[in-house]
Amino acid sequence: MKHVHIYWRIFKREIGIISHDRNLISILLIAPIFYALFYGSIYINKTESDVPIVITDMDHSSTSKKIIRMLDAHQLISVRTVSGDLNFAKDELFQGESQAILFIPDKFEAELKSGKGSDLKLYLNTTRFLNSNDINKAVNEVIGTIGIGIRLKYYESQGYSFDQAKELVEPLRLDMRQMFNFTESYGDFLIPAIFILILHQTLLIGLSESIAKEREQNSLHNLFIVSEYSELKALIGKCLFYAILFSSYSVLFFGLFFSVFNINLLGNVFALSAATLLMIFSVITLSIFISSFFKRKIFATQFITLSSYPVFLLSGYSWPMQAMPVFLKYMAALIPFTPYSNIMIRITQMGAGWTNIIPSLFHLLILGIVYLTAAYFRMDYLFRKTLIKNK
């Protein structure tokens, strides 16, 4: 009961520190909710549609007009302009008014009917890979459908039955089945990672500011007094407050915001909960350890804030881990976001359970233990230093 009373006093003390600091209020109480809603709303449509393209039709045949109609009807593409001037189409592309040019050559239909075949040219703005991939996919679907229809008619005109013509047109067929993210939604891929990065970084920044502020104001001695001169109790008390606060945020994110943004949560909720607690525990102990080396709050804030983008890049979420240099892989392994993002995508999008995430859970647990040990010895050092200073 005595221990509970000590932890409660540390808990109340942390509330007092935050309530009297506008920066901590904004980072710990406002930023997680604001940024989750703000960044999530950017990708709320999840998939793009009606990407503008220009078609240069030099043939003006019934087949070329059919291609134009089918492309314009495709949900990914909007035919902005149809012209007979390739230079005009290039100007549209360079000015950013369209993202691709489809060039239909002269005598296109005549060559198809003669059985010679013909080439269509697709010029893509590959500086925007998301647009170019969607356009490439849509054009290939439309052209492939039309091409199969033309070849079927040709073989049927040569006396083959429909089934025989079908076999000649497609002697080898690929049965491709999407296992996860069936709509190929960019939002379903990115929004969960953004939510977790927000939790990870606001916790890291906020707690680091709190510890650095204690050192800046020489108030760590008061923390040790409240904890009855036990660095372990001081450490646990600090951890408990932030663990409860950010566990509440994670419940809000997975329970409400996933529903608001229509994000899947297909796997084991209890496994996700356990992994989230381990992630929060690892980030808390990492924050205490790192920030204990800063004597000014501003320096801690600058250092931790600049880590946000590297943390995301190193996690392997946006760029495959196997394509990174070896030393960066080792750096990534030290960041709690790395194993947790792997767990989170498996559970939310792939329907994974406990057995599928055991290696990543152990990874998080090891990080938590290592950072807890480092934070304990660092707090012990500061504790002894404070005692000597206040004698």
Q: How far apart are CA 225 and CA 219, in angstroms?
A: 10
- Give me the pLDDT at residue 390, please: 60
Half-sphere exposure in the Cβ direction for 303 (13 Å, CA): 16
The alpha carbon of 62 is separated from its chain's Cα centroid by a whole number of angstroms, namely: 45
Could you tell me the CATH superfamily of domain 51-169? abc type-2 transporter like domain (3.40.1710.10)
- Give me the pLDDT at residue 280, please: 93
CA angle 281, 286, 290 (to 5 degrees): 155
- Give me the pLDDT at residue 246, please: 92
- Give me the pLDDT at residue 274, please: 92
CA angle 250, 291, 305 (to 5 degrees): 60
Number of H helices, E strands in the chain: 18, 4
| pLDDT by 10-residue block (mean), the chain, 391 residues | 73 83 87 89 79 87 86 86 85 86 84 74 83 85 78 71 70 70 75 88 87 79 71 78 91 89 86 92 90 82 79 81 86 91 87 87 93 88 71 57
Please list the residue range(s) of the chain that carry CATH number 3.40.1710.10.
Answer: 51-169
- Give me the pLDDT at residue 172, please: 64
Please name the helix (run of DSSP H) or strand (run of DSSP E) that holds residue 10, with its range, or none. Answer: helix 2-19
The one-letter amino acid code at 348 reads: T
Q: How far apart are CA 252 and CA 88, in angstroms?
A: 51
